[in-house]
Amino acid sequence: MEKIAEQKIIDDLLPQKFGKQGVIWVISLLAVCALGAYAYFRQLYYGLEVTNLRDYVSWGIYISNFVFFVAISLVGSLITAVLRLSDVHWSTPLTRIAEIIAVSAIAFAGLIIIVDMGRPDRFYNLFTHGRLQSPIVWDVIVITTYLLISLLLLYFPLLPDLKIMIKNKERNGKYLQKLYEFLGSFWKDKPEQFKITDKAINILSITIIPVAFAIHTVTSWLFATTYRPGWDSTNFGAYFISGAFLVGSGAVLIAMYVFRTHYKLEKYITNDHFDKMGKIVVLLALIYLYFNVNEFLVPAFKMKKSEEHHLMGLFTGEFALAFWFAISTAMLIPILILIFKKGRTPKAAFVAGILVVVGSWFKRYLIVTPTLLHPFLPMSDVPENYKHYFPSWEEWAIAGGSLAGALLVVTFFARIFPIIPIHETITETNEHEKV
């Protein structure tokens, strides 16, 4: 990183007010959220009847969206913990981006599960009557733990930055100043304080890795603990985790590009970062591809009768278009783009990131829905619309609203806090100089 003066770093990285683009962005996200909220109100009033879920396809885009959110949140642990523990320093400017994506995604994963419940008013039953043998209860436990650790991993490195922000009073409004003081006025930049937070962050970085594996493995077990063709797979845990790291890293590529261009952070999120993240995405896409080959080729080789309808539906049947779209956009095309040096320039990497995320969303849909349309016994004695599934407008609006909500959280976070750690950037520049 080229030498930049400390004050310049602070000026560059302190949060900025929304520009015209920012306001339009926020208003459109709010509009999507409002539509989602209206749709959810309808769902609460009329029941899940407003969805196109029925007895056979009883889990649809809410659940696939849930899986998507849990998946994307894993990137927090990858960038913050895995890279930190392996002593990789280039990723420092990306840690906070990854961590806020993780926090916001996992929070909305929890929300979307409540949206999917037939009786959200009885949510407390999970605590008053919870039974440990149900994978849902495991999910509740690990997701809450993950949210908590992620919040702490977001908060601790923020403390020195809070002090910087409190000092720069003139840039903050009255309420923001109060918020910063509430969160960080006890921080005095003392060496003991650094020692404690460093230690805490280390411990959290170590603990978050098994918890991160747990949240997505347990999420995969919601499916793999059933008998259904397409879900009944011992491959599922690893398959989900590898896919999760991939989609999260894709999201980080997108966020890197957006923040870099919007806040003019070219000096901090450099071409080199895109190059390195691009390589990581290639590696992760290859790993995910490997698990996909395992997941589909092995049962397809045997073609057991129960699996046959499901697999043929994906390969050549009614889901073929979506299936091959997902495989190519989530894995094949991003690999082809990012494997070349020219593909790892910011703009190309951004496009690859979008492909990964969009493809991965469809991939989750294809994991959830087609299986449910291929039960063991024939679909009989049900109305015709029970035998198909396409989400209703309420489902789209709610799923879209949750995605917009997650983006809003990230957006507001970047408005209130420095999206690139100021203090750590200063320290690293100084260390860099010494070398």
Binding site for other proteins (CB under 8 A): 46-49, 51, 53-56, 58-59, 116-119, 122-123, 125-126, 129-131, 133-137, 140, 222-223, 225-228, 372, 375-383
> Which residue's CB is nearer to other proteins, number 52 or number 411?
52
Residue 377 CB, shortest distance to other proteins, in Å, is: 5
Q: How far apart are the first and last CA of the chain?
A: 12
> Which residue's CB is nearer to other proteins, number 41 or number 123?
123
CB 429 within 8 A of CB 107: no
CB 246 within 8 A of CB 360: yes
Single out the residue of 251, 216, 51 nearest to residue 146, CA to CA: 216
> Which residue's CB is nearer to other proteins, number 53 or number 162?
53
> Which residue's CB is nearer to other proteins, number 131 or number 342?
131
Q: What are phi and psi of 51, to 5 degrees?
A: -85, 170
Q: Which DSSP letter does residue 347 get?
A: H
Residue 55 CB, shortest distance to other proteins, in Å, is: 5
Residue 34 CB, shortest distance to other proteins, in Å, is: 24
How far is it, in rounded angstroms, from Cα 265 to Cα 94?
A: 12
Single out the residue of 287, 291, 292 nearest to residue 315, CA to CA: 292
Residue 44 CB, shortest distance to other proteins, in Å, is: 10
> Which residue's CB is nearer to other proteins, number 225 or number 271?
225
CB 94 within 8 A of CB 252: yes
> Which residue's CB is nearer to other proteins, number 27 or number 114?
114
Residue 378 CB, shortest distance to other proteins, in Å, is: 5
> Which residue's CB is nearer to other proteins, number 3 or number 129?
129
- Burial of 232 from C-beta contacts in 10 A (0-12 / 13-18 / 19+): middle
Residue 18 CB, shortest distance to other proteins, in Å, is: 39
Residue 313 CB, shortest distance to other proteins, in Å, is: 17
Alpha helices per DSSP H over 49-91: 61-73, 75-76, 83-85
CB 275 within 8 A of CB 337: no
